[in-house]
Amino acid sequence: MALTLSINGEPREIEADPETPLAYVLRNELGLKGTKIGCGLEQCGACMILADGAPFPSCAAPAASFAGKEITTIEGIASRPAGARVQAAFIAETAAQCGYCTAGLVVACTALLEANPSPTEDEAKSALAPNLCRCGAHPRVLRALARAAT
């Protein structure tokens, strides 16, 4: 079935089962492989995208449920001023080890700075709690977030 989604500022028509989770549509139908799939259960944050500016896991919710929303993936994050700052800060602070969680964290940090341009460390930890990093890069992520906020 044809489904039209607005992704990174462009309407994209997709032939897919509308029940397919969005992350699989992004990766397999549209080649947007920056969005990673970890747990598949909305519990790790690897698949985070922005839906109308809010961070949302894309691994379980059906693609059709995003119809009418503006979706931003990691591929489009730099078009948002906060996203560009966050990406540059992640590079400057080397805020990744294996990198599997990184796209989700960049998306989550962007959403946080758009809502709260100068978060406290507690606010940052709370906002990033859904994003797990098994490499332990969180201290560097928090430094990158602080750098992007200033």
- Residues at the contact surface with ligand FES, assessed by CB under 6 A: 37-40, 42-47, 57, 59, 96-101, 133-135, 137
**Contacts of 41 by beta carbon, 8 Å cutoff, 6+ apart:** 59, 60
Using alpha carbons only, what angle is made at residue 66 by residues 80 and 86, rounded to the nearest 5 degrees? 20
Tokens 């990033």 sit on residue? 128
Closest to ligand FES by CB, 15 vs 56, is 56
If the CB atoms of residues 54 and 150 are measured against ligand FES, the closer one turns out to be 54
Alpha helix (H) residue ranges in 4-120? 22-24, 81-92, 102-115
Least distance CB 79 / ligand FES (angstroms): 23
Determine the Cα–Cα distance for residues 49 and 104; give it in Å rounded to an integer.
Answer: 7
Least distance in angstroms from the C-beta of 150 to ligand FES:
23
Least distance to ligand FES from the beta carbon of 130, Å? 7
Q: Which of 50, 57, 45 is nearest to 131 (CA)?
A: 45
Minimum distance from CB of 76 to ligand FES (Å)?
18
The smaller minimum CB distance to ligand FES, of residues 4 and 43, is found at 43
Which one, 9 or 139, has the nearer CB to ligand FES?
A: 139
